[in-house]
A and B are shown apart, each in its own frame.
Chain A
Amino acid sequence: MQKRLLTTIIDKWKLQLEKKPQWTENSVRLGAIARKKGMTALWDEWGARQPCTVLQLEDVQVVQIVENKKFVKPHLVSVQIGCSNKTKNISRPLLGHFKTAGVPPKWKLCDFHVTADAVLPVGSEIKAAHFVPGQYIDLQAPSTGKGFAGVMKRWGFKGMPASHGTSKTHRSAGSTGQNQSPGRVFKGKKMAGRMGGNNVTVSSKVLKIDNELNLIYVKGAVPGHKEQFVRIRDAVKKQGAACFPQDYLPPPFPTIAPENLESLPRELIAKSGGIDPFLAKES
């Protein structure tokens, strides 16, 4: 039998969490990974229809925390988050990685660079209530693949006339350059090729949060297909307090506390605010 060393490992991030760090304007919160489930519609308080996408947070846990990571700004800590438990076909290196964390193996791992006060200890779960209804968020996901797309679909070229003598080139690009000078086709010339499947960032708003099923309803469309993993984080273009609605300041920091979560109703719906869009403008 191996001798077991009795050592108490002090988790500094757990200690920090117990001290309850306060949210500041310069804090960068953790994001989450969600799965795109589909689209529906919601009606706001004015009766206006808002198309929305349903994203589900499925077993989102913190897997690894790395300080002073290479190529990351020194004041930021790299926190790796995993989403969706995976039960089979996990490589040995990955199994070891999850074992160190004490976390069930995950399908998808993503890094978020956060300020030191926003770090959660390894193994802590991120719930839908981490986000606040009405806040601005950024969604990143690979866009739907379109395969080898022609020049009209890919770049919006106008093609050629359907008749009047055009022979077999109705959808082609036409000319690709000049004559002997320069005598070559410039790099970056728009041509047919693979379209889609690249990372796309979309700025959007949270319309509704479902605490029971861990859902986030997001305004508009989200890149990619259903069951896709989507990276969610607070909007980069809205710094500090501008990201969140006034009613929900300060946001749950570093994430929603379990005692607050228990007292929340099942659904939190955002208010559109502003004036009634159906009122006739009196000029």
Chain B
Amino acid sequence: MSFSVIRFSSRFQKFYFSPEASPFTRGFAFRQGFRLSSDLGFVTRHLHKTPNNYTPNIEGKNLMSLITEEEIKRQPDDRTRLIDKNNKDCIKAGDVLMIETYINKGSNAVSTFAGVCISIRRQGIDTNLTLRNVILKVGIEQRFSIYSPMIKSIKILQRGEGFRRAKLFYLRDQPGKAFQIGGLVKQEIIKRLASNSGPPNN
């Protein structure tokens, strides 16, 4: 093995450096002699073979955003387009949504909640939105985690118009006509019944 800039002196202690340290950086102790060698015998980072031959590219990437990306890629349907800000058809605060959730893992029975989306919290895989509705004069809010496996579908019934905030918490005190959405829900149910009892496929 040939050495370039070497001043090897037996007077100074040999010491070990990690594989990624370059001997030519300013922080490196030039006063001490060093030797480029692969026989120093310290343990390297990757001790084992990559299981399943999968190595995610972590160069220059934040670990948490990498994990989030991978988890989102694993999702069975494309819910991400509903909350992706780059998508022009994404959900915004003020939209009227109808969300169907499975009541438990054992059955296909579904529970529906419709309401105005008053907040979208973008937290990667834990992204959640809050729907508010007034049912029998009682204000009810429910928070849904979008990537939860219990969510069956998210449907936009009506786009919001004239809402100029990201979080519409002021609607709790000044609702105006925001929660008159009973008609929209009825229309949606009629549509569904019509499609269910459509012409039989033969």
Contact = CB atoms under 8 A, between A and B. Distances in A.
A54 B67 contact: yes
Interface string A79-96: 000000111110010011
Interface of B: 10, 13-21, 25, 27-28, 40-43, 45, 47-52, 54-56, 58, 63-64, 66-68, 71, 102-106, 123-126, 145, 147-150
Nearest to B103: A278
Interface of A: 1-2, 37-38, 40-41, 43, 45-47, 49, 51, 54, 56, 59, 61, 85-89, 92, 95-96, 98-99, 102-105, 123-125, 127, 211-213, 215, 258, 261-266, 276, 278-279
8 contacts: A2-B10, A41-B125, A88-B28, A96-B13, A99-B15, A103-B43, A104-B16, A278-B105
A43 B145 CA distance: 10
Given A47-B104, A95-B15, A103 B42 contact: yes
Nearest to A96: B13
Contacts of A264: 51
Contacts of B102: 47
A37 B10 CA distance: 42
A13 to B, nearest CB: 15
Contacts, number: 122
> By DSSP majority rule, is chain B's interface helix, strand, loop, or mixed?
loop
B66 to A, nearest CB: 8
Contacts of A276: 104-106
B18 A87 contact: yes
B27 to A, nearest CB: 4
B16 A105 contact: yes
A272 B73 CA distance: 24
A279 B50 CA distance: 41
Contacts of B63: 37-38, 54, 56, 213, 215
B126 A41 contact: yes
Nearest to A1: B10
B27 A102 contact: no
